[in-house]
Structure 1
């Protein structure tokens, strides 16, 4: 009976550990990250259509200028989630544009010209529609990286200068997928442990029955 007992204990430990690992990893993934994909060209050349996006769930107050954010604004876009770049936060004055040449124009924030190496073809605006927005507290001014083909804060000036509330932020887009991949791997490993624990548990039960049958057939003599 000792063999069956050892197998049962091992099965219980491995199975329990595996289940805990699966549940913890899946919960962390679901509550800590958002998976999405690019459905338009507004973020070219940073992201192309179809690119997979991972966003870390953060409070809207935690994002800053230059961050790429995943947010929801169905009344504007009719989509569950949109990706754009933070240009101004609460209290910032965002002005377009400094310079007259399309490839030389620059957006200014609080009087300082932005360096934006990420914009497509080096064009900071390209629409020739000047704007001067002071971002209300608790809101963000957002633009796409493909300024000539992005329906962003510039197109909703009548609604708080085109800004969106920080509460609309779903997450901050991250470049490294290391943590999500680690959590996914942990979940798979936990599932493997749980399966092995189940197999060991079944084996322990079979061994116990076989040993009990042997004892019944060959009772010990006193």
Structure 2
């Protein structure tokens, strides 16, 4: 995952450099995200998160499949089942919801998330960390979630525009203040005044 570019204090953007979320997000795509609290994360959200013991400490993008208390299970070639209901996942690559992962059957601990990539055959996600609290990660590890609607993108654009206008306004005020100070200063005296000249003829 590329480095995040901070936009204001609420929004961020990242450049995708892996295939785990393909075809939803492919390498080179710029993805816009909104910073969010752990308690606001919901099933289906695509989130940017970072843990110190996985992915060499890098931030990664994955989809939330289960939250605290959810029962998540899957058999090879079958859909993911959450709390007894098969998930409808039109976003998974090649229509394959399982990939090469072994079967699993877990209950997500409270305050934690079970996350999968959309390219199930090429995603290092919760399925491969099942011995660590059912493969889950702390909800507090989430840094932001993807903006998936036009309202969010419009808010982002307005935030950027507002920041530019505020910066420009501050610059105009500084220039105006400097000009006003310069005008209020007394005119400087001549450095080398010419000596008086006797105009009387001889």
Q: TM-score range by the shorter chain?
A: 0.7 to 0.9
Structure 2 unaligned regions, length at least 5: 1-5, 188-202
Structure 1 CA distance, aligned partners of 2:167 and 2:112? 42
Name the counterpart of 1:11. none
- Partner-residue secondary structure (3-state), 2:124: coil
CA contact (8 A) 2:91 2:118 kept: yes
Structure 2 CA distance, aligned partners of 1:147 and 1:126? 5
By how many angstroms is 1:68 displaced? 0.6
Structure 1 CA distance, aligned partners of 2:94 and 2:57? 27
Name the counterpart of 1:149. 122
CA contact (8 A) 1:135 1:161 kept: yes
Structure 2 CA distance, aligned partners of 1:192 and 1:128? 53
Deviations 1:138-190 (A, max 9, x none): 11100000000000000001101101111111111113322222222112112
1:204 is aligned to 2:180: yes
Q: Once structures 1 and 2 are overlaid, which stretch shifts more, 174-183 or 125-134?
A: 174-183
- Partner-residue secondary structure (3-state), 2:80: strand
- Larger relative contact order (CA 8 Å, sep ≥ 6): 1
Name the counterpart of 2:45. 67
The alignment's TM-score, normalised by the length of structure 2, stands at: 0.81
Structure 1 unaligned regions, length at least 5: 1-26, 214-222
- Partner-residue secondary structure (3-state), 1:177: helix
By how many angstroms is 1:126 displaced? 2.0
CA contact (8 A) 1:29 1:180 kept: no
The alignment's TM-score, normalised by the length of structure 1, stands at: 0.74
Name the counterpart of 1:117. 90
- RMSD over aligned CA atoms reads 1.9
Structure 2 CA distance, aligned partners of 1:50 and 1:124? 24
Structure 2 CA distance, aligned partners of 1:133 and 1:85? 17
1:180 is aligned to 2:156: yes
Structure 1 CA distance, aligned partners of 2:130 and 2:160? 42
Name the counterpart of 2:14. 36
By how many angstroms is 1:95 displaced? 0.8
